[in-house]
A = this chain, B = another copy of it.
């Protein structure tokens, strides 16, 4: 991520098909203040807090697990048909902190390992590195997860004396692959988790952005009758990145160091108290107010954003078809929603190529090699459609096509 930031700062005029940031056109100057007021009224009118208590809730240190947990639980019920106790929710500093907490809790000793569907979000591998929890890749493939490979990896790890604690997966419009897991495979994945005594860490930042209504599939957590799923959520894409509010749902019953059995969420909250004490109540209040303004549903609230992402995705796919017609060695996938499309080319795609692309062609994208932890070359790149206009997409594709054409020509000329 640092390399990407550096490149984009160095070439600010390049079209960025790299950034996974949400669409900016609908940002509203007045929204944070309005939402803060809305949450204040909720504390007073719905929760019966006195003016002094409202001030204390917003301005003081506060509850480690957060102050909008009840609204998040309601949001999950309304939007995802996920029904969990408020106490199983921990509000975190973005989804990144949620990942860190879960991975730190799972890392009890040096034989613990994490499985993760590859390619994998870099925030996950970064957090795992920080807590010294080795990540072993599981093949993703066109179905989103290769279940046979997952089972084989579990067995392989155990045979090596290791303890696979969980498998990380992004079932909806994954970052970076764009791939989704079908309903039948979700059920099979949950069964496998039970059979192999594995937790599933479900990360769902893009679930509200299907291209078509039929492209929404129940989350693993909605199907999780056996408490195998720790769910990670984010309001960065559905409300506002600048609040840095995410959350986790951990309704598993676990034994603590003192032998008492409690909620996994409470164990994670103890870790959180050593990472950030608690999440900013002011920032939580902004998100809480947004949830209240929309009756705790973010589906309708994101109608315009979803339409923009779908329009952009269609623009990108049509643009790729036009520039690389049948017969071209350039291929791409067609995600059913989300922010990302993966383009495969017949040459290795590395940081040096990205730098050349930025410098000479004026277009940024992300080498897919960043999402594999093994340093091997990968012949693919990720394009993001989330923070650009259709005109920028066309300009970016023109420049990308020029780069690819030059690379193909260069590959066709034998070295002198």
Chain A positions within 8 Å of B, measured between CB atoms, are 1-2, 5, 21-22, 24, 27, 29, 32-33, 36, 51-52, 55-56, 58-62, 64, 93-94, 96-97, 100, 104, 123, 126-127, 129-130, 236, 240-245, 270-271, 273-283, 286
Can you name 16 extra interface pairs (CB under 8 A) apart from A21-B61, A94-B277? A21-B60, A22-B60, A24-B52, A24-B55, A59-B242, A61-B236, A61-B242, A93-B93, A93-B280, A94-B276, A96-B277, A123-B277, A242-B280, A242-B281, A243-B282, A244-B280
- Taking a contact as CB atoms under 8 Å apart, the answer to whether B2 and A270 are in contact is yes
Is the CB–CB distance between B279 and A244 below 8 Å? yes
> What CA separation (Å) do A15 and B242 show in the bound complex?
38
Q: A276 to chain B: which residues have CB within 8 Å?
A: 93-94, 96-97, 244, 276
Inter-chain CA distance A62–B56, complex, in Å, is: 28
Cα(A64)–Cα(B27), bound, Å: 21
Residue of B nearest to A61 (CB): B241
Q: Determine whether the beta carbon of B60 is less than 8 Å from that of A24.
A: yes
CA distance A2 to B256 in the complex (A): 14
Asked whether B27 lies within 8 Å of A274 as measured between CB atoms, the reply is no
Complex Cα distance, B92 from A244, in Å, reads 12
Contacts of A104 in B (CB 8 A): 130
Q: How far is the CA of A278 from the CA of B21 in the complex (A)?
A: 13
The residue on B at minimum CB distance from A94 is B277
Give the chain B neighbours of A93 by CB distance below 8 A: 93, 275-276, 279-280
Cα(A22)–Cα(B126), bound, Å: 35
Can you identify 15 A-B contacts, CB atoms within 8 angstroms? A2-B270, A24-B52, A27-B55, A27-B56, A27-B59, A32-B36, A93-B275, A93-B276, A96-B275, A127-B275, A240-B282, A242-B280, A242-B282, A243-B282, A244-B283
* Inter-chain contact A2/B274, CB cutoff 8 Å: no
Task: List B contacts of A126 (CB < 8 A).
Answer: 273-274
Quick check: B242 and A127 within 8 Å, CB to CB? no
Query: Which 9 pairs between the two chains have the least Cβ-Cβ distance?
Result: A126-B274, A244-B280, A59-B242, A93-B276, A242-B281, A280-B283, A61-B241, A96-B277, A27-B55
**A29 & B55 in contact (Cβ 8 Å cutoff):** yes
CA gap between A64 and B94 in the complex, in Å: 13
Across the interface, which residues of B come within 8 angstroms of A32, CB to CB? 36, 58, 282
Question: Which of chain B's residues has its CB closest to A278's CB?
Answer: B244
Question: Roughly how many angstroms separate A89 CA and B52 CA in the complex, as a whole number?
Answer: 34
Residues of B within 8 A of A274 (CB): 96, 100, 123, 126-127, 129-130
- In the complex, which of the residues B29, B36, B275 contacts A100, with contact meaning CB atoms closer than 8 Å? B275
Give Cα distance in the complex from A127 to B271, angstroms.
9
Cα–Cα, bound, A126→B64 (Å): 14
Q: A27 to chain B: closest CB distance in Å? A: 5
Expressed in whole angstroms, the Cα–Cα distance for A290 and B174 within the complex equals: 40
Q: Which residues of chain B are within 8 angstroms of A283 by Cβ–Cβ distance? A: 244, 280, 282-283
How many Å lie between the Cα of A59 and that of B282 in the bound state? 14
Q: Report whether A241 and B59 are in contact in the complex, using a CB–CB cutoff of 8 Å.
A: yes
Q: How far is the CA of A62 from the CA of B244 in the complex (A)?
A: 10
Find chain B residues with CB under 8 A from A240 CB: 59, 282
- How far, in whole Å, are A122 and B280 apart by their CA atoms in the complex? 20
A153 to chain B, nearest CB (A): 24
A193 CB, min distance to chain B CBs, angstroms: 26
Contact (Cβ within 8 A) B282 A130 = no
